[in-house]
């Protein structure tokens, strides 16, 4: 999608703004005000389908006041219940902090959708994003930066205890990556890399489908820390951040 296709005219002043912008940079009029109930992405009110996940926009999820504040702009979050967990949304910068349980639920649903119509996972260049470290909105500890899925190109900030921070627009891109089978390919590549025999050693046969399925429950080393896949909520990112 080119830059021009992403532009939207402010209904108040006519200024050209990004369609994902929460407010107009010229007159501060709200722009993206329609929230998708499937991926929580914000859309312009005239949208029929979500620009983040492509699904039809229907009833919007209802938010409630939040005790946490945005680590970027210090604006109080608005909390949205996603079933097993909460999404903390910043109405000013568009950043979103997801609790592990909610992200796990979104991942499982997107993998199910993607198994029906497989396609090539989208890619981004992580070098295009500025390097910065931010603190967890819940505990205040600095979060770790990770390339989501090892190959998505989207750098997310992770607190192993409380959740994952997504800059504006990153969550829909991650969900598209998952739905297109990006995590499945990452697991397969990780397994093949670990299974490669040393030079000169006998070749190892490819893993069976049953063994591939077991990979989802293996313990993997992420940045020197051993985390259990599909384990407790606080260790979810070991499942999605294979490195």
Read off the pLDDT band of 215 (50, 70, 90): very low
**Residue range 74-99: average pLDDT?**
91
d(CA 199, CA 189): 19
More confident residue, 117 or 212: 117
Among 8-17, 24-33, 56-65, 216-225, name the one with the lowest average pLDDT: 216-225
Domain range list for the chain: 95-243
Q: Which of 153, 166, 174 is nearest to 106 (CA)?
A: 174
Q: Is the pLDDT of residue 211 over 60?
A: no
Taking Cα atoms as reference points, which of 135, 44, 48 lies closest to residue 95?
Answer: 135
**pLDDT band at 140, cuts 50/70/90?**
very high
pTM, to two decimals: 0.66
> Percent of the chain beyond pLDDT 90?
23
Report the C-alpha gap between 134 and 93 in whole angstroms: 14
Decide if pLDDT at 214 tops 60: no
The predicted structure's pLDDT at residue 89: 92
pLDDT of residue 122: 55
Of residues 219 and 213, more confidence is placed in 213
Banded model confidence at residue 91, pLDDT cuts 50, 70, 90:
confident
171 CB contacts (<8 Å, ≥6 apart)?
39, 40, 41, 52, 96, 98
pLDDT at 88 over 90: yes
Q: Which of 8 and 6 is assigned the larger pLDDT?
A: 8
Mean pLDDT of 101-129: 70
The stretch 32-53 carries a mean pLDDT of 83
Cα angle, residue 229 at apex, residues 228 and 231 outer, rounded to 5°: 70
pLDDT of residue 115 exceeding 50, the answer is yes
> By the 8 A CB rule, do 102 and 86 touch?
yes
Q: What is the pLDDT of residue 166?
A: 94
Determine the pLDDT at residue 34: 86
Residue 220: which pLDDT band, with cuts at 50, 70 and 90? very low
Give which of 169, 154, 172 is closest to 38, Cα–Cα.
172
User: Who has greater pLDDT, 210 or 75?
Assistant: 75
């Amino acid at each position: 999608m080119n830059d021009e296709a992403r532009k939207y005219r402010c209904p108040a002043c006519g200024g050209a703004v990004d369609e994902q912008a929460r407010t107009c940079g010229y007159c501060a009029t709200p722009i993206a005000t329609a929230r998708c109930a499937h991926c929580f992405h914000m859309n312009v009110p005239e949208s029929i389908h979500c620009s983040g996940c492509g699904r039809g926009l229907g009833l919007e999820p209802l938010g409630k006041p939040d005790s946490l504040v945005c680590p970027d702009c210090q604006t109080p979050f608005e909390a949205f219940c996603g079933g097993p967990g909460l999404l903390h949304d910043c109405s000013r910068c568009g950043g979103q902090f997801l609790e592990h349980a909610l992200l796990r639920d979104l991942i499982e649903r997107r993998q199910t959708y993607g198994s029906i119509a497989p396609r090539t996972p989208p890619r981004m260049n992580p070098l295009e994003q500025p390097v910065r470290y931010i603190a967890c909105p819940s505990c205040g500890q600095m979060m770790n930066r990770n390339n989501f899925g090892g190959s998505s190109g989207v750098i997310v900030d992770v607190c192993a205890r409380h959740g994952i921070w997504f800059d504006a627009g990153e969550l829909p891109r991650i969900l598209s990556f998952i739905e297109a089978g990006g995590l499945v390919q990452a697991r397969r590549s990780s397994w093949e890399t670990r299974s490669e025999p040393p030079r000169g050693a006998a070749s190892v046969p490819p893993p069976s489908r049953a063994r591939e399925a077991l990979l989802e429950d293996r313990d993997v080393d992420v940045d020197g820390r051993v985390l259990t896949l599909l384990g407790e909520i606080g260790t979810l990112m070991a499942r999605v951040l294979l490195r």
